[in-house]
Amino acid sequence: MNIEMIKAAATRLAPVVRRTPMLSSPFLDEMAGRRVLVKAENLQHTGSFKFRGGWSALSGMTEAQRAKGVIAYSSGNHAQGVAMAAAKFGVPAVILMPADSPILKIANTKALGAEVVTYDRLRDSREDIGARLAGARGLTFVKPFDEPLVIAGQGTVGLEIVEQAMAEGVEQADVLIPCGGGGLTSGISITLEGTNLRARTCEPEEFDDAARSLASGKHEVNATQGGSICDAIVTNSPGEITLPIMMKNCGSGLVVSDAEAMQAVALAYQRLKIVLEPGGAVALAAALFHTDEIESDAVIVVATGGNVDTDVFVRCLETL
Amino acid sequence: MNIEMIKAAATRLAPVVRRTPMLSSPFLDEMAGRRVLVKAENLQHTGSFKFRGGWSALSGMTEAQRAKGVIAYSSGNHAQGVAMAAAKFGVPAVILMPADSPILKIANTKALGAEVVTYDRLRDSREDIGARLAGARGLTFVKPFDEPLVIAGQGTVGLEIVEQAMAEGVEQADVLIPCGGGGLTSGISITLEGTNLRARTCEPEEFDDAARSLASGKHEVNATQGGSICDAIVTNSPGEITLPIMMKNCGSGLVVSDAEAMQAVALAYQRLKIVLEPGGAVALAAALFHTDEIESDAVIVVATGGNVDTDVFVRCLETL
């Protein structure tokens, strides 16, 4: 992975991607004790940054390969990102989703034009089902994070952050990034090389595989396998490609509680007028509630997504 | 009023204003039966477009005038817009608010650095109190809409709309604008002259003074004086300056029900990941629920503000 791959992805993305705004509020600055800039990727197509990786992957394939279609595993944001990218290219997308996924997520993914194939989370092997479908139809897998084209697409967020930070007069800052498998974090971290902006991972408690992997220098795994309110960014362990990049570029990882993530959702609603999912708000939570773990005078927060169930969102608002 | 005054305001605003994004969702396009582009001014500083008019007014004064400070009447978005503009200039702002305003709105206006003076809505004359304070301290009034500098500031939204519509390949569209006194609508309408974009007012039922004034050609007033869930955009009658501009430039006015405005708030949450107040969502409501009153193949919606009470917001989400 290198910066040229990310710049090439930015060129491919330019006609379709939404340049998301950098938001701020004096109320959040005061809470954090420093300037807080929020890169609102929840406003990206499909409600999360994942559209960037999806489009980057599809636009980086040969036309023959793309024409046969793509396949992805995901119950959430990656599914919608890949589905919309495929729809805009007019090629088939198959999304494998657990049969017990929220009905709305399945419906949304179908409405974006994808064929949704469900599997039983306990009895079926999604890898077997996926391999069979891919083989039979000539579909190309789009991995959620451990794939150079996907990392390059997510990294385009970083190119925009560097430009927008300059425009705001911010030259030195911690850049806090919600981290699942590390595709977004590793991609952004490459774009920050040579600047005084430093990428740092943010995760929910009990799912802090990235923070622990960064500390130990090897792939740590989570003891728990799911059930977090921050489900959008929970993965078992950082990627093979992403972890070495993060080890080279990132500061220590930050870890927030579910309650802090939920409060951050509420404050983003109240002060920034944006809708975040708890997983998409962990970096904002770190900026607001872990201020003594941050050194620089300014903090840049990536708000990664806003695909939240309404009952969860209302519970978050009750923390106000 | 003319386009040069709006361009001059844009130059003064450039260093501080947030260029808000133009959002969209295939789900909203499908509901509306045409492309729907949403100009998200709820993401402007202070959560509404009113910051533009406030900054335009303050930056358009002489330095000596500005140094003495400003005064405004408002229980809502205009108050916050003027307060933040004054704070950024480091000059005093006095905001006259009804004593029964929501505590949070008073607190927010104070937190933005303004001095809040409350009055009894039934017993006191805010005009008398305002005139006394302004005279004693040399404060300059910043009117909410019937003031050229304010109209010019709000009109900068229109300059951005024209550019962003072009970038989206939209050359012909109805531009639906939540309308109170008409400062925003008249300002935007001037920037659309000579294009195939046409400004149209949107209002809640029972507070459709602009639609009726546009139809009759004279200042119509509302029978009811308040109590709308769309409080942010309710005024008694269009302005002396704004109505003639709107009569020259605008198509017929659209009127939506409170229930439609509340559904639009919920759909903006679900599909665009933004927080709107009901008054800020009336144009989106018109685009989604009054489709047969719109002729063009595309519609551009201004989402004017997001300063909503949480209990109202949660009631809106219950419509999903």
| Segment B48-95, tens digit of pLDDT | 999 999 999 999 999 999 999 999 988 789 999 999 999 999 999 999
Tens digit of each residue's pLDDT (9 = 90 or more) over A267-317: 999 999 999 999 999 999 999 999 999 999 999 999 999 999 999 999 999
The answer to whether residues A23 and B18 touch, using CB atoms and an 8 Å cutoff, is yes
pLDDT for B224 equals 84
Separation CA B284–CA B260 (nearest Å):
9
Torsion sign across C-alpha atoms B173, B177, B181, B182: negative
A97 touches chain B (CB under 8 A): no
pLDDT for B231 equals 84
Q: Which domain holds residue B117?
A: 51-141
**Which residue type sits at A74?**
S
pLDDT for A284 equals 98
Task: Name the residue of chain A whose CA is nearest to B269's CA.
Answer: A275
Task: Name the residue of chain B whose CA is nearest to A304's CA.
Answer: B273
State whether A165 and A263 are in the same domain. yes
Distance of residue B20 Cα from the nearest chain A Cα, in angstroms: 7
State whether A87 and A187 are in the same domain. no
- Domain boundary (A141, A167, A189) is at A141
Q: B21 contacts in A (CB within 8 Å)?
A: 18-21, 43
- Mean pLDDT calculated for residue range A100-110: 84
State whether A125 and A91 are in the same domain. yes
Helix (H/G/I), strand (E/B), else coil: A252? coil
DSSP state of B194: T
State whether B174 and B273 are in the same domain. yes
A306 touches chain B (CB under 8 A): yes
- Mean pLDDT calculated for residue range A105-132: 91
State whether A159 and A222 are in the same domain. yes
Task: List, in order, residues 6 or more apart from B216 with CB less than 8 Å away.
Answer: none
pLDDT for A106 equals 87
DSSP state of A239: -
Q: Which residue has the tokens 């602009």?
A: B210
pLDDT for B115 equals 96
- Mean pLDDT calculated for residue range A37-58: 98
Tens digit of each residue's pLDDT (9 = 90 or more) over B216-261: 999 999 998 777 899 888 888 999 999 999 999 999 999 999 999 9
Tens digit of each residue's pLDDT (9 = 90 or more) over A228-247: 898 888 888 999 999 999 99
Beta carbons of A43 and B21 less than 8 Å apart:
yes
DSSP A49-112: THHHHHHHHHHHS-HHHHHH-EEEE-SSHHHHHHHHHHHHHT--EEEEEETTS-HHHHHHHHHT
- Nearest one of B167, B114, B143, B179 to B54, comparing CA atoms: B143
Tens digit of each residue's pLDDT (9 = 90 or more) over B138-182: 999 999 999 999 999 999 999 999 999 999 999 999 999 999 999
Helix (H/G/I), strand (E/B), else coil: A305? strand
**Which residue type sits at A80?**
Q
pLDDT score of B279 more than 90: yes
CA distances from A7 to A36, A195, A216, A242 (A): 26, 16, 31, 18
Cα torsion through B223, B300, A310, B259, rounded to 10: 20
pLDDT for A74 equals 83
Tens digit of each residue's pLDDT (9 = 90 or more) over A12-22: 999 999 999 99
Between A187-201, B42-56, B117-131, the lowest mean confidence (pLDDT) is in B117-131
A114, exposed or middle or buried, with CB in 10 Å at 0-12, 13-18, 19+? buried
The C-alpha angle with vertex B199 and arms to B144 and B35, in degrees rounded to 5, equals 125
pLDDT score of A89 more than 80: yes
ipTM associated with this complex: 0.96
Structure tokens that stand for A250 in this block: 């990132």
State whether A125 and A157 are in the same domain. no
B55, exposed or middle or buried, with CB in 10 Å at 0-12, 13-18, 19+? buried
pLDDT score of A163 more than 90: yes
State whether B72 and B121 are in the same domain. yes
State whether A246 and A268 are in the same domain. yes
Between A28-32, A161-165, B65-69, B101-105, the lowest mean confidence (pLDDT) is in B101-105
Strand boundaries in chain B, DSSP class E: 22-23, 35-40, 70-73, 93-98, 115-119, 140-141, 172-178, 196-204, 254-256, 298-303
CA atoms within 13 A on the CB side of A278: 27
How many structural domains are present in chain A? 2
- Domain boundary (B141, B163, B196) is at B141
Chain A, residues 261-290, CB within 8 A of chain B, namely 269-270, 272-276
- Nearest CB to A269; choose among B40, B272, B275: B275
SS3 of chain B: helix, strand, coil, percent, to 5: 50, 15, 35
A316 touches chain B (CB under 8 A): no
pLDDT score of A2 more than 80: yes
pLDDT for A235 equals 87
State whether A195 and A72 are in the same domain. no
pLDDT for B104 equals 76
State whether B173 and B307 are in the same domain. yes
* Residue of A19, A43, A273 to mutate for B, most B C-beta atoms under 10 A: A273
- Domain boundary (B141, B169, B187) is at B141
Which residue has better confidence, A120 or A260? A260
- Mean pLDDT calculated for residue range A182-203: 98
Helix (H/G/I), strand (E/B), else coil: A177? strand
Q: B320 contacts in A (CB within 8 Å)?
A: 310
CA distances from B303 to B89, B157, B233, B286, B313 (A): 27, 11, 12, 12, 15
pLDDT for A204 equals 97
Instruction: Look up the CATH number of the domain holding residue A131.
Output: 3.40.50.1100
State whether A73 and A219 are in the same domain. no
**CB contacts < 8 A (A, B):** 62
Structure tokens that stand for B23 in this block: 């959002």
State whether A76 and A167 are in the same domain. no
Q: What is the CA radius of gyration of chain A?
A: 18
Strand order in the sheet with A115-119: A115-119, A93-98, A70-73, A140-141
Q: How many CB atoms lie within 10 A of CB A225?
A: 10
End-to-end CA distance of chain B: 42
